[in-house]
């Protein structure tokens, strides 16, 4: 059974299947580079709490804590992006290990074949894993250069028929400008896809937002660093910013 978004004045209902989008930097614990195990373990506990609400969970993780293509402006873009895809897989394996250590079954599926460490992404197999209660962690982006992990998250969410994309950030939701730099930043509890595109708001990249808009897939942006926020989100409590 799927759950849909209600009227604008209402918060979304409880979800049955979600796709979480996490940045690679989130795994660095504020250090900017590498993996901080305590941060990954905390994220795993949040996901476990969501699974205990009978919510099926897919995850897409970036690789910016290890590598971004733009770090090497003189490098061939396709090669640089392929390195970024490999970086995401390291983060996926770290999350899988943390989940399994607390009793949550998980699978890593990648868009490029790395059969010794992960399964290849096959849509129906991914859905079957979710139905069996496994957390599915999608690595290597879309498998193609020039596409971000934001776009990969939108694509995978649609392919697995997720009800919503949860984007975990380090701020409370969507603002008109960076609230960490501007005390007069305006918070948006709800906004339309087209407004996010027109105003250039940093919800997800334009390709991802357009894909979600075309397929009526809502995006909930909230602060994942606050313990318990993911559980509140899956329960449909008022939290973060809803883009729809």
User: What digits encode the pLDDT tens for the residues 15-68?
Assistant: 999 999 999 988 888 777 899 999 999 999 999 999 999 999 999 999 988 987
* CA–CA gap between residue 83 and residue 66 (Å, rounded): 9
For helices 123-131 and 149-159, angle between their N-to-C axes, nearest 10 degrees: 70
55 touches 18 (CB < 8 A)? yes
Q: What is the DSSP letter of 164?
A: E
> Which H or E run contains 21?
strand 17-22
The 10 Å Cβ neighbour count of residue 7 is 5
Model pTM? 0.90
Nearest residue to 161 (alpha-carbon basis) of 192, 130, 203: 130
* pLDDT tens digits along 97-152: 999 999 999 999 999 999 899 999 999 999 999 999 999 999 999 999 999 999 99
* Alpha helix (H) residue ranges in 123-167: 123-131, 149-159
Question: Domains in the chain, ordered, with CATH?
Answer: 17-243 (3.40.1160.10)
């Amino acid at each position: 059974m799927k759950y849909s978004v209600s009227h604008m004045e209402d918060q979304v209902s409880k979800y049955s299947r979600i796709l979480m989008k996490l940045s690679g930097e989130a795994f660095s614990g504020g250090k900017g580079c590498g993996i901080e195990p305590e941060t990954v373990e905390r994220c795993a506990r949040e996901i476990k709490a969501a699974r205990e609400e009978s919510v099926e969970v897919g995850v897409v993780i970036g690789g910016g804590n290890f590598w971004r293509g733009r770090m090497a402006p003189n490098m061939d873009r396709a090669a640089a992006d392929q390195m970024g895809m490999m970086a995401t897989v390291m983060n996926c394996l770290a999350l899988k290990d943390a989940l399994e250590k607390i009793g949550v079954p998980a699978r890593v599926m990648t868009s490029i074949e790395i059969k010794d460490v992960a399964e290849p992404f096959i849509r129906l197999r991914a859905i079957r894993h979710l139905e069996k209660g496994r957390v599915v962690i999608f690595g290597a982006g879309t498998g193609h250069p020039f596409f971000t992990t934001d776009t990969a998250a939108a694509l995978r969410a649609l392919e697995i028929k997720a009800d919503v994309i949860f984007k975990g950030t380090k701020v409370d939701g969507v603002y008109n400008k960076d609230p960490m730099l501007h005390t007069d930043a305006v918070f948006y509890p709800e906004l339309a896809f087209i407004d996010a595109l027109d105003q250039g708001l940093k919800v997800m990249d334009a390709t991802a937002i357009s894909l979600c808009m075309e397929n009526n897939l809502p995006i909930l942006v909230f602060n994942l660093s606050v313990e318990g926020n993911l559980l509140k989100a899956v329960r449909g409590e008022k939290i973060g910013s809803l883009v729809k």
